[in-house]
Amino acid sequence: MAHSVSHNLIFELIDDNLIIVTVKKNQFVVDFRFFETLDKDKLETILGELPEIYSEITLLIRNKNFITLPENFYNEDLSEIFKLSYTLFPNETVWLDKSEQNIGIAYAIDKSLIDLIVAKFPRVKIHHEAKVILSKLYKEVNFKQPRILITINTENLIIFAISEGELMLCNSYPVKSNDDIFYFVMLAVEQLHFIPSETELVILGEPPARIEMFELFKNYINEINIWLEEYQTDPQIINTESLAHSFALQTLVCE
């Protein structure tokens, strides 16, 4: 595995799968690894094979239910607030991502896995994909134009809606088909009183079925775009489709 102390290390934890990406400072991916059905013992072995020192280490949490909180709720019992919307399992703890815009993303994570990563890399920064994407939007997007931005995971959709200089919506939805995605996007358009002909739909990351996605929305929303971050990979690296699908991971690679 290529390594230098100047490289960045990124973990992406999605369901029970793990991706490990090693990145040069010039946004060049020098190593990409995918591990299925992760458990504590497997993670311990993986971590034991990694070098000790990197420039930066980040853990990205994807496909996890979350709630958004204003700053004045940060000191409340987050577990109790989270359980109002989702099940919190005994092995999980609620983690809070504080954004620069005074919006918190609270989500459940497997404590045993997190403790192993933190023990190996005490400097690791832990972020939910919603927080990473929100930070990106606030830095690079004009919030005045009505936009619906979506990122698609396995059986999970996150919708961001912005208009008139404000974040109108940041929420996740359970989906099992393109029809479900269409329903929740158009529901957001209707509830926020957006005009479809004046609203841009932005798909964050390469969707699993690009043509089908465009066909689904083209008769309802005039402007549909896909936002992908530009990065390079070593020619010897193969099977990086999951990097193309994950806009949050692309964002971290290109920082």
Above 60 in pLDDT, residue 1? no
Above 90 in pLDDT, residue 246? yes
DSSP assigned state of 100: T
Mean pLDDT of 96-103: 90
pLDDT of residue 96: 96
Please check whether residue 23 is in contact with residue 40, taking contact to mean a CB–CB distance below 8 angstroms: no
Mean pLDDT of 189-210: 93
Quick one: which of 84, 81, 113 has its CA closest to 96?
A: 81
Mean pLDDT of all residues belonging to the chain: 93
pLDDT of residue 239: 83
Please state, in angstroms and rounded to a whole number, the distance separating the CA atoms of residues 241 and 237: 11
> Dihedral of the CA atoms 127, 177, 175, 111 (nearest 10)?
-50
Please check whether residue 94 is in contact with residue 79, taking contact to mean a CB–CB distance below 8 angstroms: yes
Percent of the chain at pLDDT exceeding 90 = 83
Any idea which residue has 């606030």 for tokens?
138
**CB neighbours (10 Å) of residue 126?**
19
Mean pLDDT of 48-68: 95
Please check whether residue 58 is in contact with residue 9, taking contact to mean a CB–CB distance below 8 angstroms: yes
Quick one: which of 218, 236, 231 has its CA closest to 182?
A: 218
Mean pLDDT of 63-69: 94
SS3 133: helix
Q: Phi first, then psi: give them for residue 38, nearest 5 degrees.
A: -75, 140
Mean pLDDT of 86-111: 94
Q: What is the pLDDT of residues 133-192, one digit of tens each?
A: 999 999 999 999 899 999 999 889 999 999 999 999 999 999 999 999 999 999 999 999
SS3 64: coil
Beta sheet of 8-14, edge-to-edge order: 125-128, 56-62, 8-14, 17-23, 28-35, 232-233
Above 70 in pLDDT, residue 2? no
pLDDT confidence band for 4 (50 / 70 / 90):
confident
The pair of three-digit structure tokens given for residue 167, joined into one six-digit string = 């974040």
